[in-house]
Amino acid sequence: MKKRYILPALFAFVLASSCSKDITERNMEFPALQPASLDINAGIWKPILITGPTEFPVPAPIATSSPDYVLQINEIKSFQANMTSTEKNAVKYWSAGAVLRWNEIMRELVAKHNVAPVNNPDGTYPIPSAANPLAYPLFPFANPPYAARAYAYLAAAQYDALVAAWHYKKLYNRAAPYQVDATVNCLIPKSDLPSYPSEDAVVEGAAVEILKLLFPGDQQFIQQKAEEHKRARLIAGANVRSELEAGEALGKSIAQKFVTRARGDRAGATAGNQTLWTQLETDCIIRGEIPWISQESPKRPPMLPAFGKVNPWLFDSLTMVTTIRPAAPPSTSSQQFKDELAEIYNYSIKPTREQIRIAHFWADGVSTYTPPGHWNAVACEDFVKQNFSEVKWARNMGLLNMSLMDAAISCWDAKSFYFNPRPSQMDPRIKTITGLPNFPAYISGHSTFSAAAATILGHIIPARVADYTAMAKEASLSRLYGAIHYRSDCEKGLETGNKVGAYAIARARTDGAE
Amino acid sequence: MKHLLKKIISGLFLLLLINPVIAQTDIDGVMMEKGAFCVGPMYGHSSWKNYWEGTLKRDNANLGTVSTTMYNIMGNYGITNKLNVLFGLPYVKTKASAGQLKGMKGIQDLSLWIKWKAYSKKIGQGRLSLFAIGGYSLPSSDYTSDFLPMSIGLESKNISVRGMVDYQRGSLFATVSGAYIRRSNIEIDRTAYYTTEMHYSNKVEMPDAASFNVRAGYRNKGAYAELVLDNWTTLGGFDITRNNMPFPSNKMNATRIGFNGKYPMPFIPQLSVVGNVFTTIAGRNLGQINSFGAGLFYVLDLSKKEKKDTKTL
């Protein structure tokens, strides 16, 4: 080799280094929302908490001939004349859909907060405090039950708020700014949906109120998103300021009703205390079974053991205990238990690459949006292809997330009621392919969440039923491959999730949206 | 013979480097002669109990001590006296002494280097040499990078360019080098992940890195004994937040000091024993690694013409 080849070769290295590393993220590719139907009669759809669409009145809009309206039109024009590329990107980003984007924002907050606090020097664990969210341990610890509840309140509040908004849209029938004044540009797909009150601001207002309650330490981030959202609607020519203000006020008022429910849904006491933790253990021993023991060091109290007591959406707590709670798991002294334990030991010894992939694909553990968030991501990526109206989006996200929260409640009820040990507790040779959750095994949360989500999503998009069922099955099996659950946990989890999902379907059939 | 073995064993130190700092025999000022091929196995062991979570140093009772065992095949061939190609291919196995996480194992990354002695001149009573080294590494199996700290590697394909200055006077030498490492994006088994914000992709952008290395000591007739100071700095990336798990695109930094030696067997000069020990004196988002390693290298003469002198690495 001659010297003259060496320099070009080294030069090629450097050149190769200048290639772009930019990554295209799927959610940035979503097209602008173009609803197939306006769902103009959605004002009569069955709400979740509000008594009816007029419980929170929305005053009539100002006349389009009024000087104030003209000022607001001019505001849009001045924004459009001085648009920056950042603003252009914001218009494109928010045009994909308000319910979609606020769901994504919540997923991001969940992932940020999904980290368990480190132990105190004395071996105890601090509990995050909503009153002091920015002091360590940061509030909240957005674990799967917390996240399921957060997604549900966000979606449910947005749905009720949009039902009311649709009522007033039809009532006042206000044309969009670009229809009132032809010189206003419309930077997103045009729509004949009446623009007062703004559906985007309704969604944003509801989201801000719910997020204020659930992620109190992230107000600056949330406010910045809210401002960007509203501004994007102005710049897009989609709303004048008074339409946004009316929408935001409506969203906030209706969300308050959900905040009140959240304050009283018993979630505040779900962490339990030493008395409860000991009692769960003792009850299990009295039944003749080996109780769950934390495998963490130092031993950590079980995650939200009283979450099974939280008020569900789709049925009442008594129904849950009598018709949804699964039968007892195989006794820890039974042959079936020994066989199932041996099966997990075998999975743990030599996982295939494909089993590792599946275990990690569905793990949704520390620092992720959790399994409920994963199913929200799945749903959103399918919903963007369905061209739902915002109100239909909210209705479907509401059904999905009420199912997921009720799945969490049902699953955690079984976990605490049976307090069944994990495989690695019963056979210390078992090492796990994914993080070992710090709560009892029976029933699998991933299986319960996934079946509940797959059931209601299959109802919403029937063409995908087989896919959703297969995904739920894989998510369930991922916990066997991860060597953290027995087969019974997974199978009964799927059954339980299916039952929860069926309640959501029953609601869907009667809410007036089909 | 017993005395010699003792001497060798006591002098066994090894080159095993850490993730993401890969084994680097390319960084020294020694060249193979034309036609000579030096190849051999190396064993390495590294472990850490304390680690840096961002800049906070801590231990973790749910990991205990995390150890890595490495079996490496390394080689160096002299295309000319001034141009060498080198390779390394390690098998890596990880294990945590506490907690539930299962260790991982597999063939890690194949590394290739081209090393060019671009300039050499007598200056005063010593000799100054300048080198340019280009490197490339890529995963040689479908291992999982997104399971730190148990992963066996970070999965990125790396291109590196290193400049190196070596000065030798008598049997004493000093070598200084610096490299820029361009790292490719990686693909993980998840469809979304959080760094300091949410990402909806299975692709992860890996920040580039810089590496600096200073070594000095004794070097004569194929034997050497040197002290090494080594720094790896990730140019970008993010910190592990409190009690969070590590992620491949973390800002992983490490400064290590160590001793590295090579000793040709007196009666079989083609065969050399190498060894090293390293300890980490500063770091970020990495374990405070202590490592040792040992290996054997054998020099084959692949050139056609007879050579009088025995070649050594």
Tens of pLDDT, residue by residue over B85-95, are: 999 999 999 99
pLDDT band at B17; cut points 50, 70, 90: very low
Chain B neighbours among A 378-437 (CB < 8 Å)?
Answer: 424, 430-433, 435-436
Q: At which of A263, A295, A310 does a domain end?
A: A263
Same domain, A234 and A276: no
Q: Which of A4, A7, A23 to mutate to test the interface with B (most CBs of B within 10 A)?
A: A23
Residue of B nearest to A105 (CA): B198
Q: Is residue A402 part of a domain?
A: yes
Taking the CA of residue A10 and the nearest CA in chain B, the distance in Å comes to: 6
What are the structure tokens assigned to A420, written together?
């069944």
Task: Among B134, B189, B198, select the one facing A10 at the smallest CB separation.
Answer: B134
Same domain, A202 and A289: no
Tens of pLDDT, residue by residue over B234-251, are: 999 999 999 999 999 999
What local confidence, expressed as pLDDT, does residue B3 receive? Answer: 57
Nearest C-alpha neighbor of A205 from the set A258, A168, A147 = A258
Same domain, A385 and A471: yes
CB A396 within 8 A of CB A157: no
Relative to beta strand B109-123, strand B126-139 is antiparallel
Nearest C-alpha neighbor of A261 from the set A370, A384, A156 = A156
Flag whether residue A115 sits within 8 Å of chain B, measured between CB atoms. yes
Residue of A nearest to B206 (CA): A21
* Three state DSSP letters for A23-79: CCCHHHCCCCCCCCCCCCCHHHCCCCCCCCCCCCCCCCCCCCCCHHHHHHHHHHHHH
Distance CA A185, CA A188 (A): 9
CATH code of the domain containing A173: 1.10.606.20
B199/A25 touch (CB, cutoff 8 Å), yes or no: yes
Q: Is residue A339 part of a domain?
A: yes
Tens of pLDDT, residue by residue over B20-69, are: 333 446 778 889 999 999 999 999 999 999 999 999 999 999 999 999 99
Same domain, A192 and A282: no
Sequential DSSP letters for A384-410: TTTT--HHHHHHHHHHHHHHHHHHHHH
What are the structure tokens assigned to B25, written together?
């025999």
Same domain, A249 and A316: no
Chain B neighbours among A 349-378 (CB < 8 Å)?
Answer: 351, 353, 356-357, 360-361, 363, 366-369, 374, 377
Those residues with Cβ within 8 angstroms of residue A389's Cβ, 6 or more apart along the chain or in another chain: A35, A37, A38, A39, A42, A193
Reported pTM: 0.94
Same domain, A235 and A308: no
Burial class (CB within 10 angstroms; exposed 0-12, middle 13-18, buried 19+) of A243: buried
Q: Is residue A473 part of a domain?
A: yes
Task: Among B83, B203, B243, select the one facing A115 at the smallest CB separation.
Answer: B243
Q: How many separate domains does chain A show?
A: 2
The torsion angles phi and psi of A268, rounded to 5 degrees, stand at -65, -25
B102/A24 touch (CB, cutoff 8 Å), yes or no: no
At A181, is the secondary structure helix, strand, or coil? Answer: coil
Those residues with Cβ within 8 angstroms of residue B255's Cβ, 6 or more apart along the chain or in another chain: B229, B230, B231, B232, B280, B281, B282, B283
At A172, is the secondary structure helix, strand, or coil? Answer: helix
What local confidence, expressed as pLDDT, does residue A9 receive? Answer: 60
Strand partners, B218: B172, B225
The interface pTM score, or ipTM, of the predicted complex is 0.95
Distance CA B42, CA B294 (A): 6
pLDDT band at B4; cut points 50, 70, 90: very low
Q: At which of A241, A263, A285 does a domain end?
A: A263
Q: Which of A109, A122, A125, A360 to mutate to test the interface with B (most CBs of B within 10 A)?
A: A360
- State chain A's mean pLDDT as an integer: 96
CA A144, A148, A151 angle in degrees (round to 5)? Answer: 135
Distance CA B194, CA B240 (A): 11
What local confidence, expressed as pLDDT, does residue B302 receive? Answer: 85
Nearest C-alpha neighbor of A103 from the set A314, A408, A384 = A384
pLDDT band at A96; cut points 50, 70, 90: very high
CA B238, B240, B246 angle in degrees (round to 5)? Answer: 100
Half-sphere exposure of A69 (CA within 13 A, CB side): 16
Residue of B nearest to A300 (CA): B62
Same domain, A249 and A276: no
| Structural domain harbouring A244 | 41-46+65-263
What are the structure tokens assigned to A164, written together?
């009311």
What are the structure tokens assigned to A455, written together?
């059931």
Neighboring chain B residues of A431 at a CB cutoff of 8 Å: 100-103
B180/A17 touch (CB, cutoff 8 Å), yes or no: yes
Same domain, A281 and A157: no
Burial class (CB within 10 angstroms; exposed 0-12, middle 13-18, buried 19+) of B153: buried
CB B216 within 8 A of CB B184: no
Same domain, A345 and A421: yes
Flag whether residue A348 sits within 8 Å of chain B, measured between CB atoms. yes
- For tokens 């506490």, name the residue: B98
Q: At which of A243, A263, A283 does a domain end?
A: A263
What local confidence, expressed as pLDDT, does residue B221 receive? Answer: 84
Q: Where are the domains of chain B?
A: 2-295
Q: Which of A107, A429, A431 to mutate to test the interface with B (most CBs of B within 10 A)?
A: A431
Same domain, A308 and A361: yes
Q: Which of B198, B201, B242 to mutate to test the interface with A (most CBs of A within 10 A)?
A: B198
Same domain, A235 and A174: yes
Strands (E), chain B: 36-48, 51-53, 56-58, 66-80, 83-96, 105-107, 109-123, 126-139, 158-169, 172-183, 186-187, 193-194, 198-199, 203-204, 208-220, 223-235, 253-264, 271-284, 290-301
- For tokens 């849904």, name the residue: A265
Residue of A nearest to B58 (CA): A118
Query: Is A414 or A21 the better-scoring residue by pLDDT?
Result: A414
Distance CA A422, CA A474 (A): 20
**Ordered alpha helix ranges (H), A215-240:** 219-235
Its CATH class, for the domain covering B2-295, is mainly beta
A298/B61 touch (CB, cutoff 8 Å), yes or no: yes
